[in-house]
Amino acid sequence: MDKLLIASDHAGFVLKEKLKAYLEKKSIGVEDLGTYSKDRCDYPVYAYALAKRISDGKSKRGILICKSGIGNSIVANRLSGVRAALCHNLKITKLSRQHNDSNVLVLGSGFVKADLAKRMVSAWLETKFEGGRHLKRVKLIDQIKKR
């Protein structure tokens, strides 16, 4: 697997750092696209940088973290080929892969604590896309043109 992208704003910084350490301990390569401190910043800058890399085909998967996850989801899903899923529990995380072939996992640091986030990331990385009837739907999503 190529390096997993990860990015956050200031509200997601602490969780991002914990997830980076967790992934690196599991020998999963991580590329951190920022932010690099708890200083206030604008989440769209980081969400766009990560989603753009996926949309351009330069990376396959990434994780975005902000306080609620909503803003990151909105930004990331504006780019063609990005299927960002805002997840708050293990079941929905697995479904985002099985049914939607999500390529960006979005977490809200205000709603998902580190221990659960680690389990969610592992489940997201390990869960395969089921294809079948879901493939048709993913293709329909990817055909929607951004105006």
In tens, the pLDDT along 69-89 reads 999 999 999 999 999 999 999
Q: Are strands 84-86 and 62-66 parallel, antiparallel or unpaired?
A: unpaired
Segment 109-125, tens digit of pLDDT? 999 999 999 999 999 99
Domain ranges, residue 78: 4-143
Look at the pTM and tell me if it is higher than 0.75. Answer: yes
Number of domains comprising the chain: 1
Give alpha helix (H) positions in the chain: 13-25, 43-55, 70-76, 90-98, 114-126, 133-143
Q: Is the dihedral of CA 84, 22, 31, 124 positive or negative?
A: negative
Catalytic residue annotation: 66, 99
Domain of 29: which CATH number?
Answer: 3.40.1400.10
